[in-house]
Amino acid sequence: MVGLDASILMNPKVWEASWHVSSFSDPLIDCRKCKYRDRADKLIEDHINNNWLALQQVQEKIWTDSLTPEAWTFEQQTNFLSEFKVKCPKCWNCDRTEPKKFNLMFKTQQWVIDWEWKDIYLRPETAQWIFVNFKNILDTTRMRIPFWVAQVWKSFRNEITPGNFLFRVREFEQMEIEFFCEANEEIWLSRLQKRKETCEEWRIEKIWINKGKLRFREHDPKELAFYSKWTRDVEYQFPRWWGELQWIAYRTDYDLQQHMKYSCRDLQYTDPLTWSRYIPHCVEPSWWLTRAVLTAMIDAYDEEEYINGNWEKEIRTVAHFHKNIAPIKFAILPLVKKDERQVEIAEKIFHDVSKDYFCEYDDNWAIGKRYRRQDEIWTPFCITIDQQSCEDWETVTIRDRDTMEQKRIKISEISKYME
């Protein structure tokens, strides 16, 4: 896999080639009374989730054979909204405009000369730069099919209804990987299956995502984007609903074909061993970074009952973040801040361990309070420097955030806890 870091603004022709300028849109409806703007498909989805009769009818495919309103025609959406008398969420009125296409591209202007400009767009996805750079990547890295290209960072969408906490935003950090492969579906499906298993292992073992909260949902044929032959969503059970965490789409050779056509460049691949020449096909996993972090936070957050030093029940707020993704790895805590020798040892440990890991130095308040503070900011290990440390100049105590167990260890062993 190779990484790419491309720009946000691109030649607008790229977005014509990729269909975004003509078709990247959502169905917009306006309430005639209060002028509230909404997405027809989301309004229907909310109604289905809260109305058993509507849910039953959708499951019985009375309205259309697709279960997802996003895939319905404008006519089907209008019929459903009027049949169920779905109200405007702001003013409870039912009088609204018919759905119309609302383009999600963020437009801006590039001044060519003083009095002339052209429309350009902030990228709505990171994927297209990977396709446009396909030939550069081949020439500079000499990768052989199959290979992956990955990119992470900002994408922008002019969402009609941003919100739902962090769920739908206009500016987000996207993570996309393009898997370039032969057109043989059997081969890439088996490779993807392996990848899925590695990904799942990583999610569960390295960031402790709860496996029971993940599910895979295959797109029904009507829901598929027109360039995709097969798409699957990875969904996560957020506290109040199942939401999309990632999508994986088989994009065929559509994108490279389009860019070949628009750029008049040859984007074919020649296999260096067999000399066969073809346009590679592509499978694409795509995520929103923040949503992925949010799932880790939801699974990590806890309010735990415990017995304190005075044998009283207390509640502590703690985030059981895996040590790999906890922002601060060690808290360095001299027990008594007026003890010069403790401070000297603590500062030395802080200086040494900070070379490899993010650490926090805290000498304020009682030690119990300091532990609580670190529990709240997910620090997996607290290192306490006490009287014995001053006597032997060799040992400290280490406290585990999750078990609250404390052990006496050698200073030289601290870093081993992160291995």
Of the residues 41, 125, 223, 386, which one makes contact with ligand GAP according to CB under 6 A: 125
| Shortest distance, position 71 Cβ to ligand GAP, whole Å | 13
Instruction: Please state, in angstroms and rounded to a whole number, the distance separating the CA atoms of residues 266 and 279.
Output: 9
Contact between 352 and ligand GAP by CB under 6 A: the answer reads: no
77 contacts 40 by C-beta, under 8 angstroms: yes
Q: Smallest gap, in angstroms, from Cβ of residue 219 to ligand GAP?
A: 10
Q: Please tell me the distance from the alpha carbon of residue 397 to that of residue 335, in angstroms, as a whole number.
A: 11
CB of 51 to ligand GAP, least distance (A): 26
Indicate whether 286 belongs to the interface with ligand GAP (CB under 6 A).
yes
Q: What is the 3-state secondary structure (H, E, C) of 251-285?
A: EECHHHHHHHHHHCCCCCEECCCCCCEECCEEEEE
Residue among 15, 121, 134, 247 that touches ligand GAP (CB under 6 A) = 247
- Site residues for ligand GAP, 126-145, by CB under 6 A, read 127
Q: DSSP class of residue 207? A: S
Exactly one of 18, 246, 258, 295 binds ligand GAP (CB under 6 A); that residue is: 246
From 27-35, 111-119, 244-252, 273-281, span contacting ligand GAP (CB under 6 A): 244-252
SS3 413: helix
* Binding-site size, ligand GAP (CB under 6 A): 17
Span from 52-60, 206-214, 267-275, 279-287 in contact with ligand GAP (CB under 6 A): 279-287
By CB under 6 A, is residue 169 in contact with ligand GAP?
yes
Stretch of 106-114, 196-204, 280-288, 325-333 lying at the interface with ligand GAP (CB under 6 A): 280-288
For the four alpha carbons of 79, 85, 91 and 95, in that order, the dihedral sign comes to positive
Nearest residue (CB) to ligand GAP, 18 versus 397: 18
Q: Which of 250, 287, 330, 378 binds ligand GAP (CB under 6 A)?
A: 287
Q: Sign of the C-alpha dihedral, residues 44, 49, 55, 61?
A: positive
Q: Is 176 in the site for ligand GAP (CB under 6 A)?
A: yes
Which residue has its beta carbon closest to ligand GAP? 288
When the beta carbons of 18 and 78 are compared against ligand GAP, the nearer one is 18
Phi–psi pair at 62, nearest 5 degrees: -75, -35
Tell me the β-bridge partners of 155. Answer: 172
**Of 244, 339, 344, 352, the one binding ligand GAP by CB under 6 A:** 244
Residue 41 makes contact with ligand GAP by CB under 6 A: no
Whole-angstrom distance between the N-terminal and C-terminal Cα of the chain? 25
Strands (E) across 52-166 are located at: 100-103, 106-113, 116-122, 147-156
Rounded-to-integer distance, Cα 386 and Cα 131, Å:
58
Q: Which is nearer to ligand GAP, 94 or 292 (CB)?
A: 292
The reply to whether 151 sits near ligand GAP by the rule CB under 6 A is: no
Angstrom distance (rounded) from CA 208 to CA 297: 10
Residues 192-211 that bind ligand GAP (CB under 6 A): none
66 binds ligand GAP (CB under 6 A): no
Are the beta carbons of 108 and 124 closer than 8 angstroms?
A: no
The count of other CB atoms within 10 Å of the CB of residue 127 is 23
Q: Which is nearer to ligand GAP, 235 or 360 (CB)?
A: 235
Q: Is 24 in the site for ligand GAP (CB under 6 A)?
A: no
CA 385 – CA 374 distance, rounded (Å)? 16
Residue 157 interacts with ligand GAP (CB under 6 A)? yes
- What is the closest distance, in whole angstroms, from the C-beta atom of residue 162 to ligand GAP in the complex? 7
DSSP alpha helices (H): ranges in 307-411? 340-353, 367-376, 387-392
Q: What are the residue ranges of helices labelled H in 51-153?
A: 52-59, 74-83, 127-132, 134-141
Helix (H, G, I), strand (E, B), or coil: what is residue 363? coil
Compare residues 172 and 381 and give the one whose CB is closer to ligand GAP. 172
Enumerate binding residues for ligand GAP (CB under 6 A).
125, 127, 157, 159, 168-169, 172, 174, 176, 244, 246-247, 284, 286-288, 291
